[in-house]
Amino acid sequence: MDPKIENLLKNLKKRNIAGFYCNRKEEATGNILKIIPLTASVGICGSQTLDQLNVVKLLEVRGSKVFNQYKPGISRQENLELRMNGAQADYYLASANAISRNGELVFFSAYGNRTSGISCAKNLIVVCGINKITPNIEEAMKRARGYVTPLNCKRLNWNTPCFKDGICRENICFSPDYKRMCCQLLIIESEVDPQRIKVILVGEPLGF
C-alpha cells in the first residue's frame, strides 16, 4: 500500500474514525454490502461515486430498505420525506468532497439533508476515490468549493455565478439572483463513537 494511504488510515484512526482501503471500486461495493445488515435502513445522498459503485441498486435488489429520493416519478413531497427519513436511517452512505491527508473530511450541501445524515445517522459510510485526497484542510476546502461545486452546478444546471466559467464568486452568490449550491459546509475533524464512521478509500479515481 502507498505509504501516504497508510498514513491517512492512521490519521483517521487517531480521530476515532475507522479507515479501510480497497484497490478497486467493486471491492468497496462488496464491503459496503457486507457491512450493512440486510434489515438495516439506508439513507443516501446524491453522489457520482455512489453511482459508480452501483451500490444503491444492489442494496435495493437484495431487499434493503433504502430511502431513495432519486426514484423516478416521485413527487416533490415524497422526495423531501425520503431525504428527511434517510438522514435518520440506520446507515447513511456518502462520499466526501475532499479528505485531507490528516484525515479531515469535507462535505458541502445545498439543502442540508446531506450534512444532517452525515452528522446524525446511526452509522456513516464514506467512500472516497484517491482523487479526493488533498495535502491539507485548506486544499480540501479549495477543492470542494473551487472545483467540485462548479462541476456539480454545471452537471445539474444550477443558476450560480460559477456555472459558466467554474470560478466561485461567493460574495454575490445569493438568492434571488442565484441558486447557491454550497450553502452548508461540514468538516468532520473527529468522532466520539469509534463504531459510527467508516471511511473506505478506493485506489482509483471516483466521482470528482
The site for ligand SF4 (CB under 6 A) is made up of: 145, 149-150, 153, 160-162, 168-170, 173, 180-182
Non-local CB neighbours of 184 within 8 Å, separated by 6+ positions: 108, 109, 110, 112, 115
* In the complex, minimum distance from the CB of residue 39 to ligand SF4, in angstroms, rounded to a whole number: 39
In angstroms, give the least distance from the CB of 14 to ligand SF4: 31
Q: Is residue 163 exposed (0-12), middle (13-18) or buried (19+ Cβ within 10 Å)?
A: middle
For 208, half-sphere exposure in the C-beta direction (CA atoms, 13 angstrom radius) is: 11
Distance CA 84, CA 2 (A): 39
- Taking the complex as a whole, the smallest distance from the CB of residue 146 to ligand SF4 amounts, in Å, to 7
> Closer to ligand SF4 at the Cβ: 129 or 150?
150
CA distances from 187 to 18, 48, 71, 169 (A): 16, 20, 29, 21
By beta-carbon proximity to ligand SF4, the closer residue of 14 and 164 is: 164
Cα angle vertex 49, ends 74, 183, to 5°? 70
Give least dist CB 182 to ligand SF4, A.
4
CA distance 80 to 153: 20
The distance of closest approach from Cβ of residue 147 to ligand SF4 in the complex, given in angstroms and rounded to an integer, is 9
Nearer to ligand SF4, 5 or 151 (CB): 151
Residue 176, preceding peptide bond in cis (omega within 30° of 0): yes
Pick 128 or 168: Cβ nearer ligand SF4: 168
Q: Which is nearer to ligand SF4, 162 or 199 (CB)?
A: 162
For ligand SF4, the closer of residues 26 and 170 by Cβ is 170
Query: Minimum distance between the CB of residue 111 and ligand SF4, rounded to whole angstroms?
Result: 13
Element (H, E) at 92: strand 91-94
